Structure formats: C-alpha cells, structure tokens
Amino acid sequence: MDNLAIAHVLNEIADLLEIRDENPFRIRAYRNAASAVTDSGERIADLTDPALRQIPGIGKDIAGRIRELVESGQCRYHQELLAEFPPGVLDLLHLQGIGPKTVALLYGSRRIQSVDELEQAARGGALRGLRGLGPKKEQLILKAIDEWRRHAGRHLTPDAWEVATGVVDYLRDTSPHTTFDIVGSLRRGADTCGDIDILACGAAPDLMAHFVRHPHVERVLGQGDTKSSVRLRKGYQTDLRLVVPESRGAALQYFTGSKLHNIELRDRALRRGWKLNEYGLFQASDGTRLAGDTEEALYAALDLAHIPPELREMRGEIDAAKEGTLPRLIELSDLRGDLHMHTTATDGRDDVETMARAAKAAGLSYIAITDHSQALAMANGLDEAQALAHARRIREVAAQIEGVTLLAGIECDIRPDGQLDLADDCLAQLDIVIASVHSAFNQSPEEMTNRVLRAMECRYVDVIGHPTGRLLLRRDPYAIHVERLIAAAAQHGVALEINSLIERRDLSDAHARLARDRGVKLVISSDAHSVRAFGGLRWGVMTARRGWIEAKDVLNTLPLEALRRGLRRSRKGKRGKGVKA
C-alpha cells in the first residue's frame, strides 16, 4: 500500500468525522497525519512502529490505524464510519461551497446520497425549506455541480503561473501604481494547483470592473468591491482580492497558505492572547494592531524567522524558524551549468552550436549535451559509433565557442533488464552519462528497482535521469522503490536528477529532500529540447527549494573543475576528457 493510498483513507476518516460533527481536534489530527504521510519521502508501509511514531503528526492511535491498514488492507474504524453513510455522500464534499455541515444536513433530512440526487432535488425544488438552503443556494449548488463535472481537473503550476502573470499584466495596464501578488499554491511552487489567487494592494475599486472584462473570461462567478471571481478559458478559476497597504503582509501570508501552516500560526498567536487573520495580527482583548503590513514583521512578531513560501507545508518549517535553523535555499542564480539537453542529433529542435550560444546567453558557464541512445528509435537514438561521432562534433563546436564549456555526454537508456543501451567502452569516452528509463514502465516494483540498481553498477553512470518517471496529471511514477534507489545512489556516488520539465519535476520535493538527507548529490537539469527550454530550470529549482535543498547539495552549482571531480566517474579515479573552449 503506497503513501497516497494511506493518506486517502486518513483524509476520508477526517471527512466522515466532520460530517458526523465530531471534535475538531480529532478531525485535524487525521488531516495532519494524512498530509504527513503524503509528504513523507519514505514508504510508510515499510516503517517499523517506532519509526512511524517519529513522524510528526502521527500519534499512537493513528499509527495503530496505519499499521492495521498496511497489514490487512483495511482499517476497521474507517470501515465502521463508511458503513454509516452511502458511498456517494463523500462526493458531495467535492462540490464548491458545500461543506461537511451542509452534507450532513442534506443527508440527514433529505436522504440525499449522491451528486445526481442532489441535482434532482435542487432542480425539483426539494431543498426548499431546509435551513440556509433558499433559491439562491439552490442555484449555487447547481452551478457547483456543473463546474465539478466540467472542471474536475487541476493544472500544472507553471501553466497556471503563465495565465496568472498574463492577468496581472492586463490589470497593471489600468492600475500602474498597484502592487500585485500571486499567492496560493502558485506562490508556494507546488507541482499542481487548482485556483489562481491574486492580491491587489492599493488599487481603486474600479479595478474589479476591469478584471471581469478580461478577454479570456468565460464566466463571472462573482463580483464585489473587495473580491471577484472569474472562470477563465481552459477552466482556470481566478480570484482577485483588493487589499489595503496596512494588511498586505497579513493577506500575503494568509492567502499563500498552506492551510495547515496557517492553522499552526494562528494557534501560535492564540496561545499568546492574539488574533491572526488576513487583516493582521491583533491583541485579542482590545483589537490593538501588532503587525500586518509585511510578512516579515508578522513572522517576527510571532518570534519566527521569515519562512520562504516554498517551505510552508508543515514539514518542520515552524520549528526550524523558531530555532533559527531554516535552510539557505538554493536560487536559480546558483546554477552554473546544465547537464541534460538534447539537440537535432536526436529529438531536439536546435543544433549543438545554437544550444551552446543560448546557454551562454542564459548565463550558464558549462553544459552537457546528452542526446538519446539507440533504444529510443523514435527519437533517433544514437548507437555507439554515432554517439562517439557526435561527441567529436560537440568537441569541435566547443573549440569554436568562447565563454561556455561543452561536455560531451549521453542520456543512455536503461533497458528492461537493467543493461545499459551502450557498451562500457563507449560510455567511458564521454564526459558524463545520464542513465534513464524510457520503456517497460509497467514492471513490478522488484523488477523496476533491480533494473535501475543494476544500471547504477556501471562505473560510467554519473546521474540517474528523471528517477521515478512520473508525468504530473498524466502518469503515476513507475513502481520503483525510491528508498532503495537512494541507498544505492549513495553507495555508488551516483547523483540523482531533479528534472525541470514542468510535467516531470522528478525527483519530487520530498524525495529530493530524502536523497540529500542520505548523502546523495543532486543535479538540477532542464532536459531542454530547444533553446527556449533553459527557462524551465526555475521549476527544477522550485522543486529543490520545496525539498529544503541548498546550493551545496547540487552538483551543477559547482565551478566546472569541481563539478568534474564530483561526478561519479572521477570519484572512482577515472576521469573523462572534456574540452574547454
């Protein structure tokens, strides 16, 4: 049973408890545990009881439920709760604006058990007379059902970021003196996101009228003086809020989340006799304002160092902020090189020279050209002779370009049996070898793990590319035992990649953190297939930041010579020959 499956059950228990109107602390305990399980880089099912109990947010009772779940595939408590409600009732919770209390009411007094039944009831006027469910709410419910059916999907954060910055540019045209902030999971740099949230500080109220006239608006969901919501093309729900300057920091903090992080901060304020909300931090007794104009001041008032948005996921950041041990997170400008890209020799769109000049323009001082190997026939993969000829060509180009060093490398396929796709004596003549899985994704965990571990035994493999093969919102990671992968990487001195392609971001933040904790070096790569793709490195850096990664954990922050020494091939006393331009 994987972590997501365990977290799903814990979350469902929380939902069911909420419908039953149980103790909020109990509900929150299950939510916290679910998120701890989701975020854990370790496979929860493999942990011993003491190890399980060491995870913050997992107490004795919940540890017992998890144990039962892992051992029997079910948890009795969960089953008992489920038995109290028909299965469709939980779907109702996914409707916008329908909380557990409404669900309890709908089920309790009208026996509504599914989205379909709710729709029928709303259309037939059968909800009238229920507390708080007038004609207006009826319309909202019907709209929510419609939305839910059409826009159940989420978005890749970088795609949403592009939409959000487009909206901000549009708003800025008429409001040049307003400060705009994109908040929510976008600001935290999560892999995917639901809505887009934008704050406008110091704007006139007529900004709202301008906002709802954005050319991509499909529907105005609500328009008010301080908040408006629209549905943009491709299903992006976008909320705009007006904020006064004295509350900007508090609003930034509040709307950036995450929810769990905010709950913890609010509790911290409460314990001091204060009140924290989106308007500021106040004395609870007399409402005196203590902070709120900047985030920094807000955190400082709570005796915390300012926590970067990427860390606000309740993964230990509040303790670290208290103790002054927050990491110095890596920044895009720390990257000196990029070790994974393709050219026209295989499936890239630009040739070696064009890529090199673009990399130089992007401020990189070295790059590795790593085209595909022969197994990827549809990408025109190279065999040994072609790979070596390509390496010669790369070195010729390198000799002609100043200011950027080219390494001749390869992205070598790992065949289904774990053999590398090119012979050792070919790999030995290259400067860097990335080994990646591009086929037979459906192998069992045992097969897949042994496959990659076997590939790592080759002394010329320096990096494992996109180690779990996930494609966000499209394909789950293949069944690889990440713990064992990381242990083997540590043993062999192989680096693991954080691939920056926006649908990959692989390793994930949690796995990158685990790898670093186990002494594995990381590389952050663009996997560029054209000159435009170097910009994507920022998303790999974002993933690294979310994984608490510092510059020193990442090989391609090193100057060239140090980088070469850091690659596995030279650690084993065997140096490749790069060509310096």
Q: How far is CA 148 from CA 98, 163, 235, 471, in A?
A: 12, 21, 11, 23
* Nearer residue to Zn ion within complex by CB, 117 or 411: 411
- 456-485 footprint of Zn ion as x/- string (CB under 5 A): ------------------------------
Q: How far is the CB of 2 from Zn ion (least distance, A)?
A: 23
> In the bound complex, what is the minimum distance in angstroms from residue 25's beta carbon to Zn ion?
46
Could you tell me the smallest distance in angstroms from the CB atom of residue 533 to Zn ion?
Answer: 11
Cβ distance to Zn ion smaller for residue 239 or 411: 411
Distance CA 276, CA 269 (A): 6
What stretches of 302-383 show up as alpha helix (H) in DSSP? 317-323, 352-361
Q: Which of the ranges 46-54, 74-82, 480-488, 521-529 carries the binding residues for Zn ion, by CB under 5 A?
A: 521-529
| Stretch binding Zn ion (CB under 5 A), from 83-91, 197-205, 403-411, 555-563 | 403-411
Using the contact rule CB under 5 A, the part of the chain among 163-171, 192-200, 373-381, 519-527 near Zn ion is 519-527
* Among 153-161, 244-252, 260-268, 406-414, the segment contacting Zn ion (CB under 5 A): 406-414
371 touches Zn ion (CB under 5 A): no
| Residue 509 beta carbon to Zn ion: minimum distance, rounded to whole angstroms | 20
Identity of the residue, 40 or 436, whose beta carbon is nearer to Zn ion in the bound complex: 436
User: 565: which DSSP letter?
Assistant: H
Q: Helices 60-72 and 24-39: crossing angle, nearest 10°?
A: 60
The answer to whether 138 and 126 are in contact (CB under 8 A) is no
The per-residue DSSP string of 55-98 comes to STT--HHHHHHHHHHHHHS--HHHHHHHHTS-TTHHHHTTSTT-
Q: Which is nearer to Zn ion, 260 or 341 (CB)?
A: 341
* Binding residue count for Zn ion, defined by CB under 5 A: 3
Task: Give me 311's structure tokens.
Answer: 């860390």
Q: Which of residues 412-441 bind Zn ion (CB under 5 A)?
A: 436
For CA atoms 48, 53, 58, 59, the dihedral sign is: positive
Specify the pairing of strand 463-464 against strand 495-499: parallel
The DSSP secondary-structure symbol of 506 reads: B
- Binding span for Zn ion by CB under 5 A among 193-201, 378-386, 525-533, 534-542: 525-533
- Scanning 17-25, 66-74, 404-412, 439-447 for contacts with Zn ion by CB under 5 A, the matching segment is 404-412
**Residue 436 C-beta: closest distance to Zn ion, Å:** 4
Residue 411 in the binding site for Zn ion (CB under 5 A): yes
150/553 Cα distance (integer angstroms): 43
d(CA 506, CA 536): 13
Q: How far is it, in rounded angstroms, from Cα 466 to Cα 523?
A: 11
CA atoms of 183 and 161, how far apart (whole Å): 10
- Tokens 């560029």 belong to 528
DSSP 159-178: HHHHHHHHHHHHHHHH-TT-
CB of 501 to Zn ion, least distance (A): 8
Q: Which is nearer to Zn ion, 175 or 370 (CB)?
A: 370
At its nearest, how many Å lie between Zn ion and the CB of residue 303?
A: 46
At closest approach, how far in Å is the CB of 479 from Zn ion? Answer: 18
What is the gyration radius of the CA atoms in the chain, in angstroms?
26
Is residue 526 a contact point for Zn ion (CB under 5 A)? no
- Of 101-109, 124-132, 408-416, 445-453: span binding Zn ion (CB under 5 A): 408-416
Residue 240 or residue 407: which is nearer to Zn ion going by CB?
407
> What is the closest distance, in whole angstroms, from the C-beta atom of residue 411 to Zn ion in the complex?
5
Residues 99-158 that bind Zn ion (CB under 5 A): none
Q: Shortest distance, CB of residue 349 to Zn ion, whole angstroms? A: 13
- Minimal distance in Å, beta carbon 495 to Zn ion? 15
* Closer residue to Zn ion in complex, CB, 102/436: 436
Residue 411 vs 553, nearer CB to Zn ion:
411
| Residues 28 to 67 in contact with Zn ion, rule: CB under 5 A | none
Structure tokens at 280: 């500021």
* Residues 276 and 266: beta-carbon distance below 8 Å: yes
Helix/strand/coil (H/E/C) assignment for every residue in 428-478: CCCCEEEEECCCCCCCCHHHHHHHHHHHHCCCCCCEECCCCCCECCCECCC
Least separation, in Å, of the C-beta of 413 and Zn ion?
Answer: 9
Residue 539 CA to residue 524 CA, distance in Å, equals 9
Quick one: tokens of 156? 């890749």
The residue from 527, 537, 554, 558 that contacts Zn ion (CB under 5 A) is: 527
Question: Is the Cβ of residue 462 or residue 527 nearer to Zn ion in the bound state?
Answer: 527
From 83-91, 321-329, 513-521, 527-535, span contacting Zn ion (CB under 5 A): 527-535
Binding site for Zn ion (CB under 5 A): 411, 436, 527
